[in-house]
Amino acid sequence: MIRRIHHIQITIPPEMEDEARAFYCTILGLQEIEKPPLLKPRGGFWLEIADQQIHVGVEEESDRTRTKAHVAYEVENLAHWKDQLELLGVPIGDSVPILGWNRFEFRDPFGNRVELI
């Protein structure tokens, strides 16, 4: 039986770890957690929200802008997040309406699709 999602993984280009930390930790406010020592040589870093993890891995030659794969973060004050991202110059994309949910999507600076709901 599957009990829950333990973690998800997104990828970034190997040379962009500092920029990814700035975006995910500073702009989005996610908490970085210690990556196991044996995995550190692979690059990337790990983040945590409550008891779930986002693993930011490094990957060469991936066109992240062409995929529908994404992470959806449930947030408080959706309008605030939209305003903040627009102030930072992050293009906001159109989302197909879902009855009962307000949401929008964008691409992170590395091409990963992100939904805030």
Full-model pTM: 0.86
Alpha-carbon distance of 54 to 7, in angstroms, equals: 5
Q: How far is CA 39 from the centre of its chain?
A: 20
pLDDT tens for residues 14-70? Answer: 999 999 999 999 999 999 999 999 999 999 999 999 889 999 999 987 888 888 889
pLDDT at position 8, please? Answer: 93
| DSSP H or E segment with residue 115 | strand 113-116
Q: What radius of gyration do the chain's Cα atoms show?
A: 15
- What whole-number distance in Å separates Cα of residue 55 and Cα of residue 46? 4
In sequence order, what DSSP letters do the residues of 80-97 get, joined into one string? HHHHHHHHTTPPEEP---
Average pLDDT of the chain is 92
